[in-house]
Amino acid sequence: MATLHTRSAARLMIAPSVLLLLAWMIVPLALTIYFSLLRYNLLMPGMEEFAGLSNYTYFLTDPAFFQAIFNTLAIVLGVLFITVAGGIGLALLLDQQMFGQGIVRILVIAPFLIMPTVAALVWKNMFMNPVNGLFAWLAKLLGLQPFDFLANAPLLSIILIVAWQWLPFATLILLTALQSLDEEQKEAAQMDGAGAWSRFIYLVLPHLSRAITVVILIQTIFLLSVFAEILVTTNGGPGTQSTNLTFLVYAQALLQFDVGGASAGGIIAVILANIVAFFLMRMIGKTLEA
């Protein structure tokens, strides 16, 4: 739909974005690959030497690495499960007629707008703290022993905090999708004798599939890199019980100053993310209209 003139102008206007993103994608990544092949510790400047793949063997044989992979996947899958299931339920509920729907919506959306460090600290101190937390008080009220969430079930606690932050996102998107479902379709199904359950299975769920795909896709991108919540609650501990891949690389780099090792870890994280992204992009390619 365009002439040569507009097309060349267009190329000129796309150039800055493309060049910036290209640089952003290539330069640091190339450096990471380079560093990952060096023995390089910030505490020993000037001692850099070529180390071959030893950083990778070190990282891949570290038991903490497997724990981190497991934790990363546990966080992604755990949060996805809670938010998608909970999001569908909440969306169905909020789609009903009620008094004060607008306010309910606002209340439900709120956690998504909270910065991760605030969310994590509030949960850590004011709810999950075994002495002063509200959960401890509730437990005592019920005659139970207060439970030290972050010490005894650190991973689950983090999953819960992150799920609280992302549940609104899933709900909001699914609710929007739900509201675009044609009322006449539902009425037609009712005329055809479909009960509430079969309407949900055969009408509502297929209609939501696109939105569910989008929720899974976008959340996965962010959940693979959960960081702040771990940093301010458990610091990856106890031990490495709540360390995910992102946090492991961070610790290697900025706590142990091992540039080479951390870079190897970073590359492994990139490869993993690419494997996940490969499948996700195939999904999104069908879902997004470009």
Partner 1 sequence: MGSITLKNVSKVFGAHAVIPSIDLDITDGEFVVFVGPSGCGKSTLLRLIAGLEDVSDGEIIIDGRNATELPPARRGLSMVFQSYALYPHMSVRSNIAFPLKMAGEDKAAIDKKVEDAARVLNLTDYLDRKPRQLSGGQRQRVAIGRAIVRQPEAFLFDEPLSNLDAALRVNMRLEISQLHQQLKTTMIYVTHDQVEAMTMADKIVVLNRGRIEQVGSPLELYRRPDNLFVAGFIGSPKMNFISGAQAANHQAHTIGIRPEHLVLSKDHGTWQGTVGVAEHLGSDTFLHVNADGIGTLTARVSGDFAVTHGDRVFLTPDPQRLHRFDEKGMAIR
Partner 2 sequence: MARNVSTGRKLITTVVAWTIAILIFFPILWTFLTSFKTEAQAIASPPVFLFFDWTTENYSEVQSRSDYLKHFMNSVVVSFGSTLLGLLIAIPSAWAMAFAPTKRTKDVLMWMLSTKMMPPVGVLVPMYLMFRNWGLLDTRTGLVIVLTLINLPIIIWMLYTYFKEIPGEILEAARMDGASLAKEIIYVLTPMAIPGIASTLLLNIILAWNEAFWTLNLSAAKAAPLTAFIASYSSPEGLFYAKLSAASTMAIAPILILGWFSQKQLVRGLTFGAVK
Question: By CB under 8 A, is residue 290 in contact with partner 2?
Answer: yes
Query: How many C-beta atoms surround the C-beta of residue 200 within 10 A?
Result: 14
CB of 11 to partner 1, least distance (A): 15
Peptide bond into 238 cis (omega under 30): yes
Among 55, 67, 233, 242, interactor with partner 2 by CB under 8 A: 233
Element (H, E) at 111: none
| Site residues (CB under 8 A) for partner 2, limited to 49-108 | 90, 93-94, 96-101, 103-108
CB of 203 to partner 2, least distance (A): 16
Among 50, 180, 191, 196, interactor with partner 2 by CB under 8 A: 180
CB of 12 to partner 1, least distance (A): 16
Asked if 58 and 37 touch (Cβ cutoff 8 Å), the reply is no
| Dist CA 257 CA 42 (whole Å) | 5
| Dist CA 189 CA 67 (whole Å) | 49
4 binds, among partner 1, partner 2, none (CB under 5 to 8 A by kind): partner 1
Asked if 252 and 265 touch (Cβ cutoff 8 Å), the reply is yes
3-state helix, strand, coil in the chain (%, to 5): 75, 0, 20
Give the binding range for partner 2 (CB under 8 A) out of 53-61, 152-160, 192-200, 218-226.
Answer: 218-226
173 binds, among partner 1, partner 2, none (CB under 5 to 8 A by kind): partner 2
| Site residues (CB under 8 A) for partner 1, limited to 1-60 | 1-5
Burial bucket for residue 5 (CB in 10 Å: 0-12, 13-18, 19+): exposed
282 binds, among partner 1, partner 2, none (CB under 5 to 8 A by kind): none
Residues near partner 1, by CB under 8 A? 1-5
